[in-house]
Structure 1
Amino acid sequence: MSSLETWKKVDDYFVDQLIPEDPVMNQILQANKKANLPSIDVSATQGKLLQLFVKMKGAKNVLEIGTLGGYSSIWMAKALPAEGHLTTLEFSPKHAEVASKNMETAGVKDKIEIIVGPAAESLPTLEGREPFDFVFIDADKNNNPRYIKEALKLSKSGTTILVDNVVRDGKLLDEESNDPSINGIREMFDLLKDHPRLDSTAFQTVGSKGYDGFVLAVVQ
């Protein structure tokens, strides 16, 4: 059995043991597939991890950069208190439309605001709002350094920032890469290194989504 097959089977075991079957979440994944969205949603175990981070943080105000079909948005929104709110930024109007319908299906649309357009342009418009408690970055990797800088402007001491897909099957080690995504990830690590306001770590993951990882940072 290959490593990927093993990782997938272990993920399936975790889901069977720890994450109750949710027909609505399955329906959302099917809706994304039917709409021909890229199949890059977080896995169920990763979605649950996001949900637990929001719960552990006691977050009331969440920012997501990269909505896709709203699968990760919904996981996090379900952890918010009654007065909680999630703002999610999505480049594609088509993706945003699918996400909006999915959020309505999941019964969390009243907690979520979708802002359509390039996140680099949308983020500055959020300045002046209440600082975010939790930030999840899962968009175009070449802009990760910019997203970190903009997220800092929207944060307060204790804000948690989680960045997805930072290993890319180990390709982040390629110093000679011409891939803008890899270069963006490496630039992000250079930014985080000894950053005066961010206390950071990174961890590698394997599973149904292959070999990748997260960056976790807390604003000082």
Structure 2
Amino acid sequence: MNAIEVKNLNKSFKLGKNDEVKVLKSLNFTVKKGSFLSIMGPSGCGKSTLLYLLGGLDNPTSGVININGRDISTLKEKEKAKMKRREVGFVFQFYNLVPNLTIEDNILLPLLMDGKKIKNYKEDLNNILDLVGLKDKRKMTPRELSGGQQQRVAIARALLFKPEIILADEPIGNLDSKTGESIMELFRDINKKFGTTIVQVTHAESAAYYGDSILKLLDGEIVLKENIENAG
């Protein structure tokens, strides 16, 4: 079963009245449920654009993206918003944490936006804080944490609704190599332990090989699809 199916996907951006830039060109690929895909390629090749399209943060010019068997272009805005909150977790390079909220409040923020009762998620919160190794820092604010710890908070927040898919955009791009390694190990643990489908965008080959397959883009086209032997 596929978590993600991409069919003949194209994305262009308009420049002025008549010019347009084709960022993604006729992409076709699938991501199996429970797999870990790394999307690679040089800067400007369309990696992040593709990730945003997969997560419904932007719309393609043409083509189809199916998430768990549903064409996301057919979803109403309310349904798409619900999908983005509950089925897909996002992790970005710059963490996107609220600086004056505590760690646990940052993690719980999606619950409040979804109108859920926080008391029903106490155990989930404890388990997630345990998983990311931040149980003793729950009352701190982001400015009291290192970059690696802040990224762990962002990952914890993405895990709160137990999403089937996590989309990560250069998740270790802001971190030193040792911290980055520990974050990639955490992603691999989440993938193996929960069967969460992970799609990460990265330019670092070392990070890419934490996945079980690699998709390489160049000038908006797929130039390589390969499975990684002995992944994990």
TM-score by length of 2: 0.35
Larger Rg: 2
**Bigger fraction of residues in helix:** 1
**Bigger fraction of residues in strand:** 2
